[in-house]
Amino acid sequence: MKIPNNRAVFLCARLAVCNVLVAATAQAQDVSFIVRRDFDARGTNPDSVAVADFNRDGLLDLAVASWNSRNVSVLLGNGDGSFQAARSLDAGGFPFSVAVGDFNGDGLPDLAVANYVDVAILLGNGDGSFQVAMDFAAGNVPFFVAVGDFNRDGVQDLAVASATSDTVSVLLGNGDGSFQAPRSLGAGPNPYFVAVGDFNGDGIEDLAVANNFGGGTVSVLLGNGDGSFQARRIFPAGGYPYSVAVGDFDGDGRQDLTVANSNTLSNTVSVLLGNGDGSFQPPREFVVGARPHSVAIGDFNGDGALDLAIANAFSNTVSVLLGNGDGSFQAARNFEAGASPWSVAVATSMATGYKTWPWRTTIPTPSRRSQGMETEASERATSWLEALRFPSRWETSMAMAGWTWR
């Protein structure tokens, strides 16, 4: 089955299985899915998935971090929606999230894995194989890792959320695959997730952190451009924020935030529209399924407005909220996703076919095509990667990733 352009593909990782859902071509105000395919991820309790082209064949591949088996699995794509048998790599500790970057400047995608103990770096060989992991300290209980260039030296750096120390650690890259000692930044109570954006429009990368405890907040740390950051600014988000993603939901050219709130009493996702100066408007909440734990961004119906996908752990669904382009969203459309999906990721390619550009230092904000504001030339492809998590106690828990070609 050849996967055509203009179809969204969701990839789901669970206990030793990856699931693929192919979206049917839909009208501008609708979205549906017609195909589900399962693949063995060869890991116990996979909790994170990333998408890139690891063997340089122009086809999308998967990297899946598995918490309980302490490994990362690489599944090379065949180009028809199927994948080769998983290759298992030792990632140390308890891998909780995986991100893609180019940490030694050789043009090949590498992996960064937050594993509860440290951050493991696996340099890619360009043929789908990776070198032995190198470990770097990254604060107490490294939970989630994101990639950026925080000191503007052209070398990729890391930001790591440390759940038990209420901090985010920044590790500046040396350009050879190694990193400097971590710099600890105050984030908020129990930070689970960190995302990279430019929230005040100065061209310098900033951080947004979802704080799971302490009143339901998101912390924003504005970057100074030298690897340091200003003191955190705290904004209300909702009940027990678990993940945060960055996009421009109202088409004003300013980056906004969306937050999955894992509180089962509200079951909402929040949208905080940016003011362009690093501050945000009060959250707007939208009802989704039970126990939302992860949110990702894409354009699932091809209308040029950003939509949301949310993994709902207790209702066994993924909610899709189609964006109206003004910062508001339509009512959730819920799709069965297997038992206990705790997370979702979306990778969007803006090129024809399966090419990717997975190691950009800045996560771009996709824009509204109707305004002629594409963030990349049409022949370049960009991946948005959001890390995933689910609990080990459910054998059938799954992580979902989506691909959209435009």
DSSP characters for 177-237?
Answer: S-BPPPEEEE--SSEEEEEEE-SSSSSS-EEEEEE-SSSSEEEEE-B-SSS-BPPPEEEE-
Contact between 256 and 284 (Cβ < 8 Å): no
**Does position 3 have pLDDT exceeding 70, yes or no?**
no
| pLDDT band (50, 70, 90) for residue 336 | confident
Q: What is the mean pLDDT of the chain?
A: 80
257 vs 78: which has the higher pLDDT: 257
354 has pLDDT over 70: no
215 close to 232: Cβ distance less than 8 angstroms: no
Average pLDDT for residues 201-225, to the nearest whole number?
95
Pairing relationship of beta strands 341-349 and 398-405 according to DSSP bridges: parallel
Backbone dihedral angles phi then psi of residue 386, each to the nearest 5 degrees: -115, 130
Of all residues in the chain, the percent with pLDDT exceeding 70 is 75
Residue range 165-178: mean pLDDT, rounded: 97
For the segment 86-111, the average pLDDT, to the nearest whole number, is 95
User: Across residues 213-220, what is the average pLDDT?
Assistant: 89
Give tens-digit pLDDT for 4-27. 334 444 554 443 334 444 455 445
Of 145, 146, 111, nearest to 130 (Cα)? 111
Q: At 244, which helix (H) or strand (E)?
A: strand 241-247
Mean pLDDT computed over 344-368: 39
Main-chain phi, psi angles of 92, to 5 degrees: 70, 165
Task: Specify the range with the lowest mean pLDDT, choosing from 23-27, 158-162, 317-321, 332-336.
Answer: 23-27
- Name every residue whose Cβ is closer than 8 Å to that of residue 203 and which is 6 or more positions away in sequence: none
Angle at 203 between CA 378 and CA 373, to 5 degrees: 30
Confidence bin at 368 (pLDDT 50/70/90): very low
Higher pLDDT, 203 or 382: 203
Please tell me whether residue 303 adopts helix, strand or coil conformation: coil
Query: What is the token pair recorded at 60?
Result: 């999308």
Lowest mean pLDDT among 142-151, 208-217, 350-359, 371-380: 371-380
Map tokens 């004003």 to a residue: 252
More confident residue, 79 or 378: 79
